[in-house]
Amino acid sequence: MKLNTIGLRIVFLSIFYVLVVNTGCSKENIINDLYPFKIHYVILNEQGIETNRIKEGNNFYIQFSIKNTSGKDVLITNHHSFANNELFNVYRLDNENNITIVENQAMQGICLDVGGCFKEADIKVPWVNERDTVIGLMCCNYELMKRKHLPIGKYMLQYTGNIEYDFTTGNSETDSSKTGNYNIKYEFEIIK
């Protein structure tokens, strides 16, 4: 009798183990729905090194990159979301931390209405332009006006927005989602 009870327990535990293992969520099937992308929005010096201090009279670069950290095949679908008139703009901070946009801001131009231009992006834009320049990012064109060196002071980059994307589920079906709201601020200063 004891042998049958032990045998039943082994069978029951085996069935329980099989059910739990095969019906539980595996880490591979989970995508971070709120933030599957890492956005990097920073200032680089002339040598391409991230910094928050630029010497007066030196040029600098604005770097904007998006990296897919979900481990899934993800396609960014709404590239208009990057045209929120903050991208590539610089804001001046006064002593009370009020912000004012620096003149000659970036102007978003034409965005092609095609599905999913990029999975990831990485662009470096010089602040000082000898002439008006057009750059492309995420199927959109941005017109960057001729700009001169910034005077000594405190400044900030800012980007707020979410990202709409498609991804392939475990059943080879496509699903759509939208990230939570990214709110990125990067302060830097021009020094003597």
Instruction: For the full predicted model, state whether its pTM sits above 0.85.
Output: no
**Residue 149: predicted pLDDT:** 92
Q: What is the SS3 string spanning the chain? A: CHHHHHHHHHHHHHHHHHHHHHHCCCHHHCCCCCCCEEEEEEEECCCCCECCEEECCCCCEEEEEEEECCCCCEEECCHHHHCCCCCCCCEEECCCCCEEECCCCCEEEEECCCCCCCCCEEEEEECCECCCEEEEECCEEEEECCECCCCCEEEEEEEEECCEEEEECCCCCEEEEECCCEEEEEEEEEEC
Encoded tokens for 122: 């990485």
Residue 128 lies in a domain: yes
Residue 26 lies in a domain: no
Whether residue 115 contacts residue 164, with contact meaning beta carbons closer than 8 Å, is answered with no
d(CA 75, CA 163): 10
Summarised one tens digit per residue, pLDDT across range 147-185 is: 889 999 999 998 888 888 888 777 777 888 888 888 889
Residue 114 lies in a domain: yes
Rounded to whole angstroms, the maximal C-alpha distance in the chain is 92
- Number of folded domains that form the chain: 1
Summarised one tens digit per residue, pLDDT across range 99-123 is: 898 866 666 666 665 555 666 778 8
Q: Name the residue among 14, 191, 161, 187 with its Cα closest to residue 90.
A: 187
Residue 5 lies in a domain: no
Q: Backbone phi, then psi, for 56, in 5-degree steps?
A: -55, 135
Residue 19 lies in a domain: no
Whether residue 17 contacts residue 153, with contact meaning beta carbons closer than 8 Å, is answered with no
Domain that holds residue 117: 31-191
Tell me the Ramachandran region of residue 28: left when phi exceeds 0, alpha when psi lies from -120 to 50, beta otherwise: alpha
Whether residue 165 contacts residue 76, with contact meaning beta carbons closer than 8 Å, is answered with yes
Summarised one tens digit per residue, pLDDT across range 73-98 is: 787 776 666 665 577 889 999 888 78
State the Cα torsion 150-154-157-160 to the nearest 10°.
Answer: -140
Residue 122 lies in a domain: yes
Residue 22 lies in a domain: no
Residue 1 lies in a domain: no
